[in-house]
């Protein structure tokens, strides 16, 4: 009896291909009946294959047209994910709005998004009334979240002096001290994997008031560039390895809720824990309580297409 094999075409930017499509992955997939095939962007998609599934992370009108033509000609093929579902993720406000719509039934944990506002012009940026209810420090993020290098450029703003260096349209999100740890959650269908990564250090009251530069620029919270404010001593002191993971059932419920609401099958999102409820790594190092009873969590960022 012939072995059933599945052809999976992938369309990724060159950098993504180098990061994700390793020989070990291709070999493992092949041994399990899945043939990973690079889609040639110089040729029409409908002329390639046959593919049982197309995995992509490309944008633009021409690519959307090609996907639609492929879908019309191959109605049984699976596209992960549809451009229509991904579209909402290109705007950080609509991206995070779905988090506030989730209904979580966990009694011991609360989940939401930090306070935030959208700034479309310089006039609003310096309007103190527009800031009502929002306190420094804040994270400034581009409004557009299309996966480009520009969309990942952010800044931690300590005071009003730092506003001069910002270029609207941007989202200003209140910074929540979270123990220097961010939890990245990867979702592939019903499979959910949570890992911990280094993040921005907590900001003290002295830093809020005494920052001379007014802001600190960085690219991606969980992939920090070298900066004089952040060094290995900080992370060694905080015992990153001892930081306890969030409850798997809690994370899985969030993932399922996002998947249903957004109609996505392959995505990732970031979660942080409000340090005002205690630094879990420090408490464990001191022999303090364990577990996550009464913890407060925020969806700091989440992006479609892992």
What residue numbers does the annotated binding site cover?
A: 16, 57, 92, 141, 152, 173-184, 199
Number of residues assigned to the chain:
306
Q: Locate 185 and state its tokens.
A: 């959650």
What residues are paired with 26 via a beta bridge? none
List of residues 6+ apart from 65 with CB closer than 8 A: none
Binding-site residue ranges for 1D-myo-inositol 1,3,4-trisphosphate: 16, 152, 184
Query: How many whole angstroms separate alpha carbon 95 and alpha carbon 9?
Result: 27
Q: What are the DSSP calls for 101-128, one per residue?
A: H-----SSEEEE---EEEE-SHHHHT-G
The Cα–Cα gap between 89 and 93 comes to 9
The kind and range of the H/E element at 70 are helix 61-73
Annotated binding site for ATP: 92, 141, 173-184, 199
Per the CB < 8 A criterion, the answer to whether 160 and 243 are in contact is: no
């Amino acid at each position: 009896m012939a072995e059933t094999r599945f052809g999976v075409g992938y369309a990724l930017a060159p950098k993504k291909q180098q990061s994700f499509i390793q020989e070990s992955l291709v070999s493992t997939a092949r041994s399990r009946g899945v043939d990973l095939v690079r889609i040639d962007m110089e040729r029409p998609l409908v002329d390639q294959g046959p593919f049982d599934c197309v995995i992509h992370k490309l944008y633009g009108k021409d690519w959307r047209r090609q996907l639609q033509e492929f879908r019309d000609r191959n109605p049984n093929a699976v596209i992960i994910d549809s451009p229509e579902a991904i579209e909402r993720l290109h705007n950080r406000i609509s991206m995070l709005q779905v988090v506030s719509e989730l209904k979580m039934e966990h009694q011991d944990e609360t989940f939401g998004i930090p306070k935030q506002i959208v700034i479309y012009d310089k006039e609003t940026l310096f309007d103190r009334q527009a800031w009502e209810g929002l306190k420094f420090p804040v994270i400034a993020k581009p409004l557009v979240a299309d996966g480009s290098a520009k969309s990942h450029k952010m800044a931690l703003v300590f005071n009003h002096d730092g506003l001069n260096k910002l270029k609207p349209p941007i989202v200003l999100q209140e910074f929540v001290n979270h123990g220097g740890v961010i939890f990245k959650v990867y979702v592939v269908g019903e499979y959910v994997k949570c890992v911990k990564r280094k993040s921005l250090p907590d900001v003290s009251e002295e830093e809020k008031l005494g920052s001379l530069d007014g802001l600190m620029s960085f690219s991606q919270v969980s992939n920090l560039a070298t900066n004089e404010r952040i060094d290995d001593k900080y992370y060694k002191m905080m015992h990153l390895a001892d930081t306890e993971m969030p409850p798997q059932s809690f994370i899985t419920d969030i993932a399922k809720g996002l998947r249903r609401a957004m109609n996505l099958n392959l995505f990732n999102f970031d979660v942080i824990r409000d340090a005002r409820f205690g630094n879990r790594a420090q408490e464990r190092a001191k022999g303090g309580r364990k577990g996550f009873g009464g913890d407060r969590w925020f969806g700091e960022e989440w992006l479609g297409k892992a």
